[in-house]
Amino acid sequence: MLLLFSIIGGIPGILYASNAQNWQDVLISGYTGWYLLYWVIFSAIFSAFAAFRRYRDFDKPIKQLSQAANQVANGDFSVYLPAIHDAEHYDYLDILFEDFNLMVSELGSTETLKSNFISNVSHEFKAPLAVIQGYANSLNDDSLSVKERQKYLRAIVEATNNLASLVTNILRLNKLENQNMPTKLSYFDLSRQLADCALQLEPNWEKKEIDFQADLLDHCPILADEDMLAIVWNNLLNNAIKFTPEKGKVSLIQKKQDQGVLISIVDSGIGMESSVIDHVFEQFYQGETSHSNSRNGLGLAMAKKIISLSNGTISVQSKVNLGTTFSV
């Protein structure tokens, strides 16, 4: 098309240069041959340049994107596509590359979380299963006394309970991760719920002779998922009692705050270092190794998720050997 327009546009020049009187004179003019050769060369160069620009600006980037997508499909999440142009000359392909890099980054993070989750779950299952297997094998020893057999059976039952608790918490956490808000919303008295949770754990703090104090509001109606919030209070109170030494102190405090309510659970227990506090709400994280066999590292992760879905916040303050305060 370009050649056609070039030829048509150059006809007046040919007619003028050859002083042609008719088309036959034009065709036999020497100027016409050079003119046509010039435009053939010019059109070829222009077409080659246009093809190169198309390859560089479109075909090559699309090919790179296709190859990168294939790598991601094969499980390689380290792929990164650099921008084609500088920031001042961004076009739709640069934006497409940015979105692709963001997608790969998110997929890589998800895959890492999935791998870590499977690894952590496998590790958590091994501990109670090893206890059960070890004590079950020991029970085959006919020389064991009745007292020893009872001890081994209690250990097996405790390990079984820990395993059941782990499975339950994993299912609960999975349910929470796949919903946007708590289910079964209803009005209930939060003060009564806190009191009930504390009374259920009374045997635990009485056994350790802990000074348990509760300062609760007379009445505090709220709209939330009652069953889910019960998990939070049971977990926080259980941890406070568990990590507080004998004859220590645990306080459950409820106060009105602005348009909401503040619940604080304070203990005089072993406390946590700042490095532990930074990760305490992560799944399977266990900062205090001396108690790692008595928990599975999912309770606080569930608590944070439930509180978040209930439009609340949860925070922690702690100092080693001075105690911990969880505020909701």
Same domain, 228 and 313: yes
Sign of CA dihedral 220, 239, 296, 300: positive
Tell me the average pLDDT across 10-39. 55
Question: Would you place residue 17 in the very low, low, confident or very high pLDDT band (cuts 50, 70, 90)?
Answer: very low
Q: Can you give the residue range of the structural domain that contains 221?
A: 186-327
Largest CA distance in the chain: 130
Sign of CA dihedral 304, 257, 323, 201: negative
In angstroms, rounded to a whole number, what is the distance separating the alpha carbons of residues 309 and 228? 10
Same domain, 200 and 312: yes
Distances (CA, A) of 277 to 235, 285, 324: 17, 10, 10
Give the per-residue pLDDT at 124. Answer: 65
273 against 215, higher pLDDT: 215
In angstroms, rounded to a whole number, what is the distance separating the alpha carbons of residues 268 and 107? 42
Q: Distance between the two ends of the chain, CA-based, in angstroms?
A: 74
In angstroms, rounded to a whole number, what is the distance separating the alpha carbons of residues 199 and 206? 11
Find the CATH number of the domain harbouring 253.
3.30.565.10
Same domain, 199 and 253: yes
Same domain, 230 and 298: yes
Same domain, 165 and 220: no
Among 47, 76, 105, residue at a domain's last position: 76
Q: Residue 225 in 3-state DSSP?
A: strand
Q: Residue 213 in 3-state DSSP?
A: strand
Among 21, 44, 76, residue at a domain's last position: 76
Q: Look at residue 31 and tell me whether its pLDDT is greater than 80.
A: no
In angstroms, rounded to a whole number, what is the distance separating the alpha carbons of residues 42 and 37? 8
Global confidence as pTM: 0.54
Instruction: Count the domains in the chain.
Output: 3
**pLDDT-wise least confident of 35-44, 130-139, 318-327:** 35-44
Sign of CA dihedral 287, 290, 296, 298: negative
Neighbours of 211 (CB within 10 A): 12
Same domain, 236 and 141: no
Angle at 250 between CA 247 and CA 255, to 5 degrees: 155
In angstroms, rounded to a whole number, what is the distance separating the alpha carbons of residues 324 and 123? 28
- Does residue 182 contact residue 309 with C-beta atoms inside 8 Å? yes
Same domain, 147 and 267: no
- Give pLDDT tens digits for 59-104: 777 787 788 788 777 777 777 777 777 767 677 777 787 887 888 7
Tokens 């405090």 locate to: 253
Find the CATH number of the domain harbouring 125.
1.10.287.130
- Give pLDDT tens digits for 100-116: 788 877 777 666 666 66
Q: Look at residue 181 and tell me whether its pLDDT is greater than 90.
A: no
Angle at 227 between CA 222 and CA 233, to 5 degrees: 80
Same domain, 235 and 288: yes
Q: Look at residue 295 and tell me whether its pLDDT is greater than 50.
A: no
Provide the pairing of β-strand 249-257 with 185-189.
unpaired
Tell me whether residue 144 is in a domain: yes
Query: Nearest to residue 158, comparing CAs of 120, 121, 128?
Result: 128
Same domain, 246 and 277: yes
Tell me the average pLDDT across 211-226. 90
H/E/C letters for each residue in 61-105?
Answer: HHHHHHHHHHHHHCCCCCCCCCCCCCHHHCCHHHHHHHHHHHHHH
Same domain, 69 and 124: no
Same domain, 193 and 148: no
CB-facing half-sphere around the CA of 92: CA atoms within 13 A: 2
Among 177, 208, 226, residue at a domain's last position: 177
- Give pLDDT tens digits for 148-180: 888 888 888 888 887 887 777 677 767 766 665
- DSSP-assigned letter for residue 39: H
**pLDDT-wise least confident of 93-97, 250-254, 314-318:** 93-97
